[in-house]
Amino acid sequence: MPAINVNPTRQELTRLKGRLRTSVRGHKLLKDKRDELMKQFMDVVRENRALRQKVERELLRAYASFTVASAVMSPEMLEQSLLYPKQSVELDMSFQNVMSVNVPEYHFKTRSSDAGEIYPYGFATTSGELDDAVNALSGVFQDMLRLAQIEKTSQLLAEEIEKTRRRVNALEYVKIPQMQEAIKYITMKLDENERASTIRLMKVKDMILKQAIEEKREETANAVKTFGGSDEGTGEV
């Protein structure tokens, strides 16, 4: 018996065969998709690792500069200096399609293009260390944004690969074998039915023949009796 319950009919067989064809085709396509996604993913994830290492290293350096700056200046002064930024950043996001996965692409725009605008304070009351710190931070920001894009892409791709892999496996190890088994079951059952009906016909034919022979024999016997009897009668005479 197959795992799924099917009617052993010719209609069902045709339907199942059609489904099996579709499944095999789908399986092949999904497998190709998975392989291509994997290829893309490996590239992205390698870059992700390298970029993350770089960003973490540079951020720590920027933090260190800030620590130096805060040692030179009072915390209130430091906070006040940074309180009202001159610069503002806007992010444009577009989408790129990688094997039917939408991945984001970030483009950022600063309100003013002047690089000096990142210092939101007058230079009279602040220390040079703060300038260094802000400068270091703005240097790492480009990479941070790139990291955001790459990391999100790798997360989205990972999710899609996981989904595709599950589908491929489900088709390969569950759905397709199940359908093949069902098709085999129906074929066997239909063949069996056919043989059974042939045998039945042969049996019936046998019975009819037997009956006919019996009748014939009886007729002959009767005839022999009748004519044989009169023959005897004439013989006596």
Q: 3-class SS at 94?
A: strand
To the nearest whole angstrom, how small is the minimum distance from the Cβ of residue 59 to another protein?
A: 6
Cα–Cα distance measured from residue 211 to residue 206, given in angstroms and rounded to the nearest whole number = 8
Which range in 25-33, 82-90, 199-207, 213-221 contacts another protein by CB under 8 A?
82-90
Q: Pick from 36, 159, 191, 194 the residue near another protein by CB under 8 A.
A: 159
Q: Which of 48, 168, 175, 186 binds another protein (CB under 8 A)?
A: 48
187: left (phi over 0), alpha (psi -120 to 50) or beta: alpha
Residue list 162-191, contact with another protein (CB under 8 A): 162, 165
Task: To the nearest 10°, report the CA torsion of 16, 17, 23, 26.
Answer: -140
Q: Does 13 bind another protein (CB under 8 A)?
A: no
Does the protein bind another protein through residue 230 (CB under 8 A)? no
- The only residue of 77, 144, 176, 190 in contact with another protein, by rule CB under 8 A: 144
Q: Is 152 near another protein (CB under 8 A)?
A: yes
Using CB under 8 A as the binding rule, the residues of this chain from 90 to 119 that contact another protein are 90-95, 102, 104, 106, 108, 110-111, 118-119
Cβ count near 16 (within 10 Å)? 19
- Among 24, 158, 176, 190, the residue binding another protein under the rule CB under 8 A is 158
| DSSP class per residue in 172-222 | IIIIHHHHHHHHHHHHHHHHHHHHHHHHHHHHHHHHHHHHHHHHHHHHHHH
Pick from 23, 80, 87, 180 the residue near another protein by CB under 8 A. Answer: 87
Beta-bridge partners for 89: 110
Number of residues that bind another protein (CB under 8 A): 62
Closest CB to another protein among residues 67, 220: 67
Smallest gap from Cβ 175 to another protein, in A, equals: 20
Rounded Cα–Cα distance for residues 202 and 206 (Å): 6
d(C-alpha 135, C-alpha 120), whole Å: 12
Question: What is the smallest separation between the CB atom of 173 and another protein, expressed in angstroms?
Answer: 15
- What residue type is 149 in one-letter code? Q
The CB-of-177 to another protein minimum distance in angstroms stands at 21
Q: 2, 8, 7, 15: which is closest to 194 by C-alpha? A: 8
Considering only CA atoms, which of 107, 110, 188 is closest in space to residue 148? 107
Q: By the criterion CB under 8 A, which residues form the site for another protein?
A: 38, 41, 45-46, 48-49, 52-53, 55-56, 59-60, 62-63, 66-67, 70, 78-79, 82-83, 85-95, 102, 104, 106, 108, 110-111, 118-120, 133-134, 137-138, 141, 144-145, 147-149, 151-152, 154-159, 161-162, 165
